[in-house]
Structure 1
C-alpha cells in the first residue's frame, strides 16, 4: 500500500498525516481487531473490547479528490449520510441525530468496498480520534461498508484522543444492561438537589444511552415542570462524570410514591 501520494493535508488536519512507521504497511486489517469486530457483530464481544484494540491499531482515513453530497451508509437500521462539508476531501458522515462522524477503515479492501476512489491515509486510531475531536466531529465509524461496521460513541472517541481507557456508561449484567455505578451516582448527585425532585435514578435509555428518571413533587404546573427540567439538565451538563462518560441522555418523569 502507498502511504501517501504526496498531497499534504491542511494544517488543522496534519494530526492524521502518515509517518514513516507505515512505510511497510500492506493495507491489511489487524487480525486481532478483525476477530473482535466479528465477535462484536455476533454479539459475543462488547464494543469496549473493540475500542481497546483500536487504541493500539492503525486505521485508514479516506481522502477523496472530490467530495459529493450524495450517498448513505446503513448501520444497525439507521442511515449515515455523507456530509458535503469536508476538509481537503476528508469526508464526514452525518448520523441521524445530526452529529458528524469520521469514517475509518481497518483495511484497503474495506475502504474500496465503500469508495473505490478513496486514497487511504494510514494513521494511529488515537490520532484519527484527535482529528475528529478537533473538527468537532463526535463519532468514528469503523468500516462503514463492512464487513462489520462499528459506531464508536463520543465518550470513546474522546478517550481514544486522550490516550485513556474508555469506560462505558452501561455495563452488562446477568439481567441485561445497567448503568455503571459511578455514572448512576453522578446522575443522582446532579439531580437530587433541584427543588421539587423527590428522587432521581439512572437506567438504560429508550431513545438515548442513559435515561434520568425523576420523581417530582405532585401538582407542578407546566412552567414549574419546565424550570425543574432546565435545572436538572444544567446540573447534568456540568457534571464531569456525566459529560465524559455518557453519550446521550433522556429525561423521564415517574410518579412520586
Structure 2
C-alpha cells in the first residue's frame, strides 16, 4: 500500500510539495476570535415560531455561518483481501431530498453542528460564501441548524433567499420585489385581453399573479395567455431567481 504523503518529513522545513515553510505569511480567516456561538439576533429570530422572513434573511446576511465538512473515502487498501479505507478526503456536505431538491446545510453555532453530526468539521464562512457555495453545487436551499437525522431544520432558506445572499443584496418577497414587478408588467404588456394585473403572496411561498381578463375568452384562449405570460417571466433570469414558485389567479374584469 502506498501512502499519499509517504516519505514526507515536516521537520525538514518543507511542505508536501517541497516548498519551504520559511518566509511564508499566514493570514487569518477573518474569524480568529470566533467563539463558535450563534449570532444573537439570528438565534432570537430562529427561536420564533414564525419569524419575519425579511428580518431573518437580513440577520443571516450579517452573521457568520458554519458549513460542515466530513471525511469521505479516498484510497482503498485491499492488501488483506478485505477492502478498507487507506486514506480519506474532506468534502462539504450536500443533501438530496426524495423530490430531488438539493440542499447545502449550514449552522449558526458549533453546538448546533455537533448536535447534527459530532464528527463533522466546522468551517466558518460568511453567509455570502455559503450561498455562493450552494449555487455552485447546484443546491436549491440552505437548511439552517438541522437537527439530528431525520430531524427538521430551524429554518430553510428558499432559492430566492439563497440567490439574494449570493449576490450580496437585500431580499424581498417576490410580490413586493421591484425587479419582479417590472418583469411581470413587461410580460403582460402585449396582452390586450389583460385589463389589469397585480401581485400577491400565493400558497407555499409562490408569487401569485392576478390577471383581470376580458370577458368572453374561451378556456383554450385563457390557457394560451397564461402560458405566454409565464414563459415571458421565465425568460428574465434575474426575475426567475427572485421567484420561488409562480401561480396565477384569474378573474373577469
After TM superposition, the score normalised by the length of structure 2 is 0.69
Which residue pairs with 1:56 in the alignment?
A: 62
SS at match of 1:104: coil
Contact (CA 8 Å) 2:57, 2:171: kept in 1 or not?
yes
SS at match of 1:122: strand
CA distance in 2 between counterparts of 1:181 and 1:143 reads 28
Q: Are 2:247 and 1:245 aligned?
A: no
Structure 1 residue 155 displacement after superposition: 2.1
Sort the Cα spacing of 1:123 and 1:207 in 2 relative to 1 into closer, same or farther, 3 A.
closer
Contact (CA 8 Å) 2:163, 2:242: kept in 1 or not?
no
CA distance in 2 between counterparts of 1:239 and 1:51 reads 23
Q: Which of these residues, 162, 187, 191, is aligned with residue 190 of structure 1?
A: 187
Which residue pairs with 1:42 in the alignment?
A: 49
Structure 1 residue 187 displacement after superposition: 2.2
Q: Are 2:197 and 1:200 aligned?
A: yes
CA distance in 2 between counterparts of 1:56 and 1:111 reads 19
Structure 1 residue 147 displacement after superposition: 9.6
CA distance in 2 between counterparts of 1:231 and 1:111 reads 46
CA distance in 2 between counterparts of 1:57 and 1:106 reads 8
Which residue pairs with 1:25 in the alignment?
A: 34
Sort the Cα spacing of 1:198 and 1:98 in 2 relative to 1 into closer, same or farther, 3 A.
farther
Structure 1 residue 181 displacement after superposition: 6.8
Mean Cα deviation higher: 120-129 or 154-163: 154-163
Which residue pairs with 1:92 in the alignment?
A: 94
Q: Gaps spanning 5+ residues in structure 1: where? A: 1-17, 68-86, 170-178
Q: Which of these residues, 232, 235, 238, is aligned with residue 232 of structure 2?
A: 235
Sort the Cα spacing of 1:203 and 1:168 in 2 relative to 1 into closer, same or farther, 3 A.
closer
Higher gyration radius (CA): 2
Q: Are 2:157 and 1:157 aligned?
A: no
Structure 1 vs Structure 2 CA RMSD: 3.0
Contact (CA 8 Å) 1:208, 1:250: kept in 2 or not?
no
CA distance in 1 between counterparts of 2:122 and 2:116 reads 12
Contact (CA 8 Å) 2:143, 2:153: kept in 1 or not?
no
Provide the aligned length of Structure 1 versus Structure 2.
207
Q: Are 2:226 and 1:220 aligned?
A: no
Q: Which has the higher strand share?
A: 1
